[in-house]
């Protein structure tokens, strides 16, 4: 299997494990957004988004990294890897960055409209 295909399958399985099997209250509502697997499939970065403020998101990251051994074991049972990758959970800030950029573009657009209005 190619790393991209493995990453997609891992994303789906890890999402299920987190929502159905992990009971850590620090994790809360988490969505696995993407998984990046190294070419040798020894390591995987699991990106997630989470509701809440900065503290809640950091707490979710701690909870997920704390549960990574369990998640890895469960993943190996579901995917039957020769080697199950080490999992490293990272907060995916791309959605927040996208929102921030859209706010900047909206502000620029409004300022341009003001300039273009007849005096």
User: How far apart are the C-alpha atoms of 105 and 101, rounded to whole Å?
Assistant: 6
pLDDT tens digit sequence for 30-46:
999 999 999 998 999 99
Quote the pTM value.
0.77
Chain center to CA of 102: 21
- Residue for token digits 């341009």? 112
Give the residue numbers spanning the domain of 10. Answer: 3-93
Whether 68 is in a domain gets the answer yes
Whether 63 is in a domain gets the answer yes
Domain count, the chain: 1
Whether 118 is in a domain gets the answer no
Whether 115 is in a domain gets the answer no
Query: Among 86, 55, 89, which Cα is nearest to 72's?
Result: 86
pLDDT tens digit sequence for 43-85:
999 999 988 888 999 999 999 999 999 999 999 999 887 888 9
Calculate the average pLDDT of the chain: 88
| pLDDT band per the 50, 70, 90 thresholds, residue 119 | low
């Amino acid at each position: 299997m190619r790393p991209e295909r493995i990453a997609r399958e891992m994303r789906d399985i890890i999402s299920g494990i987190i929502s159905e099997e992990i009971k850590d209250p620090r994790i809360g509502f988490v969505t696995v957004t993407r998984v990046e697997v190294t070419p040798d499939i020894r390591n995987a970065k699991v990106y997630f988004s989470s509701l809440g403020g900065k503290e809640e998101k950091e707490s979710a990251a701690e909870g997920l990294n704390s549960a990574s051994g369990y998640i890895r074991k469960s993943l190996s049972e579901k995917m039957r890897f020769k080697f199950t990758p080490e999992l490293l959970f990272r907060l995916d800030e791309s959605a927040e960055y996208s929102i921030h950029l859209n706010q900047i573009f909206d502000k620029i657009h409004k300022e341009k409209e003001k300039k273009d209005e007849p005096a």
